[in-house]
Amino acid sequence: MGKTSDDLQERRHGRGPGYIRLKAIAVLLRSFGWLRPLVEERRPPLRPGFQRQLARIPSRQKGRNIKAHFYRSSSAVDAPLPVHISWHGSGFVLPGLGTDYAYVDHHLEQLGPDCVFVDADYCKAPEHPFPARVHDAIDVVEYVLAQPHVYDAKRITLGGFSAGAALALAVGAHLGPDRIAGVAALYPVVDCSVKPDAYPMPNPEQKQDSGVLMPGWLTDFFLAAYIVRPEDKLDPLCSVKFAPPWSFPRLLIASAKVDTLYTEAEELASHLREAGRTDTRFISIDHEGHGFDKRPKCAESQERRAYVYKEVTNFIRQCWSSAACAA
């Protein structure tokens, strides 16, 4: 797997004008966070019978913790439980812990009480460029795996959205199918070695019902904030496209057709299937843009979101079941 390693050294941007510019743009974009309640669905109350616990997981970086919300039922069986760990989208830069609660709530309802759902945070660029956030994600998974009396180490699945989906894929490929039962990635970034618009969209004339088509200047900024050394773009922990096919767990990848990230995700799934990974599935979502599920604007978008979320739930359940049978 090349130089992918937990020991990959931390990077830092120089403190010159280039970093000052990246930091200023990041602060400006983050300052729009107060608008989030206006552009996202109202968060439903916590599902009856479930508890949300905030954990502060030690990071390998001294003096820093990783926040994670652990959702579990008070009526769960007294046995090690399967776990799904999910990471929010961020463009590598923006805060977002808790913004996927509608997705969390769906899985709490569908998967039932005998499981644990972890909504995990990670550090952001440009203050913490690659590979810091990948290390955070690995640290969260290792925290769960280190407690086999509480969590079923054979039934651990990963998932996420956009940059968070990229994390799930990279960590899944890094830890491998012996440790991770499956990964569900929604509109992931899979290739940081080129700009997203280097991949042609399948139908440039198609309009999205919901979601956005990210402008080039924004994706350029995200990549500049995230990556310090050009050679890191080819590391599978940064661009999971370069991970060997055999390293991946079972995969479900879903991407929207009116999204600059669509083609790279579809090509990854095709490449894996051509390499014999028949346990890879790709869902193509018509007439939707990036992040369409966060605030669906019409009934059709709501139906597409419901379908994708249902397929993810089924996928997680199948991964847990297969892992239990193989144990």
pLDDT digits (tens, 9 = 90+) for 242-270: 999 999 999 999 999 999 999 999 999 99
What's the confidence (pLDDT) of residue 185?
A: 99
Average pLDDT score over residue span 286-306: 97
- Do residues 83 and 157 lie in contact, with contact meaning Cβ atoms separated by under 8 Å? yes
Among candidates 191, 170, 180, 315, which has minimal Cα distance to 254? 315
What percent of the chain stands above pLDDT 70?
Answer: 94
Give the pairing type, strands 65-73 and 116-120.
antiparallel
Q: How confident is the model at residue 41 (pLDDT cuts 50, 70, 90)?
A: low
Average pLDDT score over residue span 289-296: 96
What's the confidence (pLDDT) of residue 37?
A: 54
Rounded Cα gap, residues 12 and 90, in angstroms: 19
- Do residues 147 and 244 lie in contact, with contact meaning Cβ atoms separated by under 8 Å? no
- Do residues 11 and 226 lie in contact, with contact meaning Cβ atoms separated by under 8 Å? no
Among candidates 300, 282, 195, 207, which has minimal Cα distance to 239? 195
Q: And the tokens for 57?
A: 């997981």
Rounded Cα gap, residues 113 and 73, in angstroms: 5
In tens, the pLDDT along 153-175 reads 999 999 999 999 999 999 999 99
* 3 state DSSP class of 281: strand
What's the confidence (pLDDT) of residue 239?
A: 98
* Eight-state DSSP code of residue 209: S
Rounded Cα gap, residues 318 and 66, in angstroms: 29
In tens, the pLDDT along 308-321 reads 999 999 999 999 99
What's the confidence (pLDDT) of residue 235?
A: 98
* Eight-state DSSP code of residue 146: T
Peptide bond between residue 58 and the one before it cis (omega within 30 degrees of 0) = no
Work out the mean pLDDT of the chain and round it to a whole number.
93
Domains of the chain, with CATH numbers? 17-326 (3.40.50.1820)
